[in-house]
Amino acid sequence: MRYAMVIDTKKCVGCSDCVVACQNENRVPIGYCRDWVIENAKGTFPNVSIELRSERCNHCENSPCVRCCPTGASHYEEGGVVKVTRHECIGCGACVQSCPYDARYSHPDGFVDKCTFCHHRLQEGKLPSCVSVCPTECMYFGDLDDKESKVYQLLQNRDWKVLAPEVGTKPHVYYLI
């Protein structure tokens, strides 16, 4: 099983609902966030286009954060979810520095925090909160090893990209373009 998130930039309106839903669901303190939204504009008026995309931890197959963690707090869960075990984390911040996506932050309670793909919800058979709240349904979540899954199908049938492929992290968040 390989969990992946597929985000359709053609449908995202950049509303940032994913950010608020995640903050509530995961009790992320105000002032911090596990996901965020980027807008990129290209061209000159009136030949302009924009891309909107929701970003977060890429749950990389080859995660620099897991590799550099001195205590083993950063680890892989089943399906490739990258998680931090809070009581094992000493808050050294090495993982924060190592992440090419700047997806981790130091929580005021002394540990490092980031997106877990809402691992607690996955265990209950629910989708990550960002996916389930998105008004445009531009976010998909599933198992890339399952050829029937929507995420697999979308990646077969649509053009896509990942962020910073050159750093070789093998990210598991894909953007339909």
Partner 1 sequence: MNKSRREFIKLSAIGAGGLVLANPLLNAMIGQVNAAEPMDASKIKRFPTYCEVCFWKCAGWVYTDEKGEIWKIEGNEDDPHSNGRFCPRGTGGIGMYNDPDRLKTPLMRVEENGKQTFKEVSWDKAFRFIAEKMNKIKEESGPESLALFKHGSGGAHFGKLFKAFGSKNITAPSYAQCRGPREVGFNTTFGSNINSPEPVDLENTKCLVLIGNHIGENMHNSHVQEMSKAIDRGATIITVDPRLSTAASKSKYWLPIKPATDIALLLAWMNVIVSEELYDKNYIGQYAYGLEDLQAHVADKTPEWAEKITTISADVIRQTAREMAFHAPATLIHPGRHVTWYGDDTQRLRAMAMLNALLGSWGRKGGFYFPEKAKVPTYPHPGYPPVNWTWKDHLDGTYALADSSIANVFVDMSHPENESDYKIKGWFVVGTNLISTIPNTQRTLEAIQNLDLLVVVDTMPMEITGYADIILPECTYLERYDDMRVSPNRFPNVAVRVPAVKPKYLSKPSDWIVRKLAKKLKLSKHFNYESYSEVIDWQLKQMGSSLAEMKEKGVLKMERKTPMFIEEGDYHEFGTSTGMIELYSLDLEMEGFDPIPNYTPHPEPPQGFYRLNYGRAPMHTFGRTANNPNLNELMSENCLWVNPFVAADNNLENGQEVWLKNQDGVVSDFPIKVRITERIGKDNVYMVHGFGRANKKLKRSFGRGISDTQLVTNVMVDPIMGGTGMRGNFVSFVTDKPESEVIS
Chain centre distance of CA 113 = 13
Q: What angle do CA 4, 137, 53 make, to 5 degrees?
A: 65
Stretch that binds partner 1, among 44-52, 63-71, 72-80, 141-149 (CB under 8 A): 44-52
Measure the CA–CA gap between 173 and 161, rounded to whole angstroms.
9
**Residue with the two structure tokens 């911090």:** 32
For the bound state, the minimum distance from the C-beta of residue 1 to partner 1, rounded and expressed in Å, comes to 22
Residue number with CB closer to partner 1 (20 or 92): 20
Reduced to 3 states (helix: H, G, I; strand: E, B; else coil), residue 173 is strand
- Choose, by CB under 8 A, the member of 6, 7, 28, 95 that binds partner 1: 28
Residue number with CB closer to partner 1 (79 or 100): 100
Residue number with CB closer to partner 1 (29 or 145): 29
Residue number with CB closer to partner 1 (49 or 147): 49
Buried/exposed 34-73: b ≥16 CB within 10 Å, e otherwise: bbebeeeeeeeeeeeeebbbbbbbbbbeebbbbeebeeeb
- Choose, by CB under 8 A, the member of 46, 148, 156, 157 that binds partner 1: 46
DSSP per-residue codes, 101-125: T---EE-TTSSEE---SSHHHHHTT
- Whether residue 145 contacts residue 5, with contact meaning beta carbons closer than 8 Å, is answered with no
- Choose, by CB under 8 A, the member of 5, 7, 21, 173 that binds partner 1: 21
Binding mask 101-140 for partner 1 (x = CB under 8 A): xx--x-xxx---x------x-----------xxxxxxx--
For the bound state, the minimum distance from the C-beta of residue 45 to partner 1, rounded and expressed in Å, comes to 5
Contacting positions for partner 1 (CB under 8 A)? 10-11, 13-17, 19-21, 23-33, 35-41, 43-46, 48-50, 52, 55, 86, 100-102, 105, 107-109, 113, 120, 132-138, 163-164, 167
